[in-house]
Amino acid sequence: MNALRHILLVFAAMVASSLNAADTGALAGVRHRVLVSTDIGGTDPDDFQSMVHLLLYADVFDLEGLVSSPFGPGRKEHILQVIDRYERDYANLKTHSGRYPAPAVLRAMTKEGALDNPGPAGIGSATEGSDWIVQCARRKDPRPLHVLVWGGIEDLAQALHDAPDILPTLRVYFIGGPNKMWSVDAYNYIEENHPKLWLIEANSTYRGWFVGGNQAGEWGNTGFVAAHLAGRGALGDFFATQLRGTIKMGDSPSVGWLLRGTPGDPAQPGWGGRFVRIWDGRKTIFDRLTTAADEVEAFGTVEIALAMPVGMTGANTARLLVDNRINVAGATDGRTLRFRFSPRDAKLWPYVVRSDFAGLDGRTGAFTAVLPPPEKTSRVSARLPNWWIDDPAPEAREGVHLGAKHVSRWREDFLRDFAARMLRCEAPKS
């Protein structure tokens, strides 16, 4: 075991020198302020995996907040479940680094975020989580606050609404894709009202953590868990129970972004990816029900804004059932009935209207989400000067996933470093 530990640590040191000399990641000794907003315990158990990963690296960050911002059933208690496992390993961990935060400190910074959808406005009432974001951002610290959004973006939107003065302090890494689909109203609020926000919108780059790269033997998504995580302390065993012992860790690229690379410059390579400036025209608005011939941008925003039918009132309700599984509530101002959606994949998206107003109920439509052409993506947005997105270049794709190769290229590096960290849970430093 000591020989394995030595090999892993030596390789981790070699990785440090493989990135450019401008590496300002945490593993290069730069301490970054970090707050995580997560839908852990909600629709996808991979947040449990990413939380284990985060806590193993908690000694190299100044961790300031853990906010439960779920879509669905996830709650603050699910963050605390991982901290409970961390506490069991803490005696060993702190012998390897005196900067691991005490479990009580982690529990004190764990907050409950938004539980309800704020509706089309994208903002509602302050939560314990949104207030904590504001409090952390206003601390007297010259460093930016990195907000890693692993789930709903509602608490960040609320914090910006309640305290717009915090905007210059924030550096946001948003795991978009499905999270954007569920949080499209909050996303729309931020994009329309806070265009100067510094934000990475990773809609597909994050998939490089579990798609592509070397998947052979111990580096495979299942093989790695069996070889390097199961049996390695309470955290390792807990990780191994998630997703039947298979790596996804879809939110971990946001942590990798801060571990190795140049977090101040999204155009530079690093474990969390490499990004390009965002372009305009990503929202498409229709004043009618659409057809399959209508094209919109994949991962963009679609709005269907219908004139209120004669006889329909604000007391009536309407929703779109998209792809036979996703409910999109309609909102009205008395004149227009509006539906907003973000398609997470390039494909056909059919829908049917469900309404208690007979003139709408049962009507059908569709639209086709497509990847944007180069002539569009090459024109960077002047309105969103600090907004970054997945690299659309064909050579950066892993299959259909834009930008994912900018993460998967580092797969052996970040997994080998993770494996070395897991050894800390197993035994105290000798």
Q: Which two tokens stand for residue 145?
A: 């606050």
The one-digit pLDDT tens for each residue of the chain (430 residues) are 555 555 554 444 454 445 555 789 999 999 999 999 999 987 678 999 999 999 999 999 999 999 998 767 778 999 999 999 999 999 999 999 999 999 999 999 999 999 888 889 999 999 999 999 999 999 999 999 999 999 999 999 999 999 999 999 999 999 999 999 999 999 999 999 999 999 999 999 999 999 999 999 999 999 999 999 999 999 999 999 999 999 999 999 999 999 999 999 999 999 999 999 999 999 999 999 999 999 999 999 999 999 999 999 999 999 999 999 999 999 999 999 999 999 999 999 999 999 999 999 999 999 999 999 999 999 999 999 999 999 999 999 999 999 999 999 999 999 999 999 999 999 999 8
Architecture of the domain whose range is 283-371: Sandwich (2.60)
Strands 336-341, 331-332: pairing kind? antiparallel
Give which of 149, 203, 175 is closest to 35, Cα–Cα.
149
Q: What is residue 264's three-state secondary structure?
A: coil
* Contact assessment for residue 249 and residue 50, using Cβ atoms and an 8 Å cutoff: yes
Distance of CA 23 to the CA centre of its chain: 23
Give which of 389, 136, 171 is closest to 273, Cα–Cα.
389
Whole-number pLDDT of residue 15: 47
Q: How far apart are CA 97 and CA 384, in angstroms?
A: 40
Whole-number pLDDT of residue 11: 47
User: Residue 142, exposed/middle/buried by CB under 10 A (0-12, 13-18, 19+)?
Assistant: exposed
Domain ranges of the chain: 2-279+378-426, 283-371
Q: What is residue 402's three-state secondary structure?
A: coil
Q: How far apart are CA 408 and CA 402, in angstroms?
A: 12
Whole-number pLDDT of residue 16: 45
Query: Domain 2-279+378-426 is classified in which CATH homologous superfamily?
Result: Ribonucleoside hydrolase-like (3.90.245.10)
3-state secondary structure the chain: CHHHHHHHHHHHHHHHHHCCCCCCCHHHCCCCEEEEEECCCCCCCHHHHHHHHHHHCCCCCEEEEEEECCCCCCCHHHHHHHHHHHHHHHHHHHHHCCCCCCHHHHHHCEEECCCCCCCCCCCCCCCHHHHHHHHHHCCCCCCCEEEEECCCCHHHHHHHHHCHHHHHHEEEEEECCHHHHHCHHHHHHHHHHCCCCCEEEECCHHHHHCCCCCCCHHHCCCHHHHHHHCCCHHHHHHHHCHHHCCCCCCCHHHHHHHHCCCCCCCCCCCCCCCEEECECCCEEEECCCCCCCCEEECCCEEEEEEECCCCCCCCCCEEEEECCCEEEECEECCCEEEEEECCCCCCEEEEEEEECCCCCCCCEEEEEEECCCHHHHCCECCCCCCEEEECCCHHHCECCECCCHHHHCCHHHHHHHHHHHHHHHHCCCC
Q: How far apart are CA 265 and CA 25, in angstroms?
A: 11
Give which of 11, 382, 81 is closest to 228, Cα–Cα.
11
User: Residue 167, exposed/middle/buried by CB under 10 A (0-12, 13-18, 19+)?
Assistant: middle
Q: Please tell me if the domain spanning 2-279+378-426 has the same topology as the one spanning 283-371.
A: no
